[in-house]
Amino acid sequence: MSNYFEFNGQVKVCCGENALANLAYELDFLNCKNPLLLSDEGLVACGTLDVFKNAVKPVKFKTEFTKIPADSSTLTINQIARLYRNNKCDGIVAVGGGSVIDTAKGVKLVLSQNCEDIITLSGNEIVKKGESVAFVVVPTTCGTGSEVTSVAVIKDVKTKTKLEFISSELLPDCCFLDLKMTQNLPAKLLVSTAIDALTHAVEAYSSLQKNPISDVYALGAVKLIAGNLLDAVDGDSVAKSNLLLASNMAGLAFSNSMVGIVHAIGHALGAVLNIPHGVAMMMLIVPCLRFNKDVNHVEYSNLLLYLTNEDTFAYTKPNERATTFIDKLEELITKLQEKTGIKLKLTDYGATENELDLICEKAMNDGASVTNNKIFTREDVMEILKEIY
Ligand SMILES: [Fe+2]
């Protein structure tokens, strides 16, 4: 761990029952009178967007775009930025999961940097503090933590590559964690996004860029997820609330510590095979942690306490704790897989052996590979892919 670190936790978090009742106040504080509402068709169809609109009365939106596709794309971002300008909006309210939030971040970047095409902002040194754009995020999944991260992953449709943008210019002014927004979340999505959050916490806690502040958020997130995930799948609303908070805490951790090999390969699986991000995390977390175990022995040993309990930790010999942590994680994934029927093999998503090379190449070039605590090769990635093929 370096003795120099930075930690940015500048997003105001409004959390709890009826948190959304404060949206009008926050928009007024941000001088936003003509907000643009962003969401997706799934949230319209299941009624969650109506629940949101009822909860935020008397807020009125100048216009809305509720057709954000499941995979954020550069074209969608440029189209929404034009809509914002044509309607003279003065702020963005994004209601959704990872794709909606990442798209909204991309739109905010195009507007704050006063440009037409997000592609021209690729390469993080280009982005500077720009024009103020009021930006509020309301997550509807329990996983990405994207509402507090300075990262957006956006698909470049031309090159089939996931572009990673990292800048504090992507951060919202505030976010709302309100249980009402996750009440229609299907079990499969709840599980895969929660495992995404767990992966954020575990990778942040063991990354090259870990620091004492992000460690606190990461450990707290692991404890909350482990203690609530199974109850949340069974419909317990307190447990679901705790997952929403845990995902936010894991987001704060990884936004400042970054992630590692699980995300490097996971991004490649998303780009090549369109595997949903959380499902990719479920496939990869155990084999990748086994690969990293020799260098992350201390961190994984500590994580056993947070994933299980004091008794399990105390009764496990110190030199077996890292292995037991990964074994317990595998048990949890298996239980969740059995409960939800989520498919966890690459062939379930139409993968062919020919595509494995391309996945390896993309994983090696992914930004998340830089902060993995253990250097990995193309051959290492191929071994991991064969385990889940
Ligand atoms: Fe993730």
Structural domain boundaries enclosing 166: 12-182
CA of residue 88 to ligand 1 center, whole Å? 33
Sheet containing strand 35-38, edge to edge, reads: 12-15, 174-177, 134-139, 91-96, 35-38, 63-65
| CATH number of residue 49's parent domain | 3.40.50.1970
Does residue 140 lie in a domain region? Answer: yes
Cα of 166 from ligand 1 centre, angstroms = 14
CATH number, residue 346:
1.20.1090.10
% of the chain beyond a pLDDT of 70: 99
Examine the domain organization and report whether 250 and 144 are in the same domain.
Answer: no
Candidates 250, 293, 12, 277; CA nearest to 136 is 12
- Per-residue pLDDT of 327-378, as tens digits, reads 999 999 999 999 999 999 999 999 999 999 999 999 999 989 999 999 999 9
Distance 285 CA to ligand 1 centre (A): 11
> Domain for residue 1, yes or no?
no
Q: If you measure from the C-alpha of residue 197 to the centroid of ligand 1, how many angstroms do you get, rounded to a whole number?
A: 7
pLDDT value at position 122? 84
Q: Structure pTM?
A: 0.92
CA of 189 to the centre of ligand 1 (A): 13
Counting the structural domains of the chain, the total is: 2
Same structural domain, 240 and 384: yes
Query: For residue 278, how far is its CA from the centre of ligand 1 (angstroms)?
Result: 7
Q: Which of 134, 160, 182 is the last residue of a domain?
A: 182
Boundary (domain end) residue, out of 182, 217, 232: 182
Percentage of residues in the chain with pLDDT exceeding 90?
87
Do 313 and 197 lie in one domain? The reply is yes
Q: From the CA of 275, how far away is ligand 1's center (Å)?
A: 13
**Whether residue 153 has pLDDT greater than 70:** yes
Tokens for 28? 């007024």
* pLDDT score for 383: 97
Say yes or no: 37 and 99 in one domain.
Answer: yes
How much is the mean pLDDT over the chain?
Answer: 94
Among candidate residues 182, 201, 226, the one where a domain is terminated: 182
> Could you tell me the distance, in angstroms and rounded to a whole number, from the CA of residue 203 to the centre of ligand 1?
10
Same domain as 223, residue 295: yes
Give the ranges where 3-97 is alpha helix by DSSP (H).
Answer: 23-29, 41-45, 48-55, 74-86
**Domain presence at residue 375:** yes
- Give the bridge partners for 35, in sequence order: 91
Say if residue 173 is in the same domain as residue 238. no
Least Cα distance to 286 among 225, 333, 340, 227 occurs for 333
Which residues have CB under 8 Å from 25's CB, separation 6+? none
283 and 357 in a single domain? The answer is: yes
Across residues 155-173, what is the average pLDDT?
87
Dist. CA 63 → ligand 1 center (Å)? 30
Co-location of 354 and 227 in the same domain? yes
- C-alpha of residue 271 to centroid of ligand 1, in Å: 14
pLDDT, one tens digit per residue, over 71-118 is 778 999 999 999 999 999 999 999 999 889 999 999 999 999 999 999
Picking from 150, 237, 149, 147, the residue whose alpha carbon sits closest to that of residue 190 is 237
pLDDT in tens, 224-243: 999 999 999 999 999 999 99
Residue 168 within any structural domain of the chain: yes
286 & 346 share domain = yes
375 CA distance to ligand 1 centroid (A)? 20
2 is a domain residue:
no
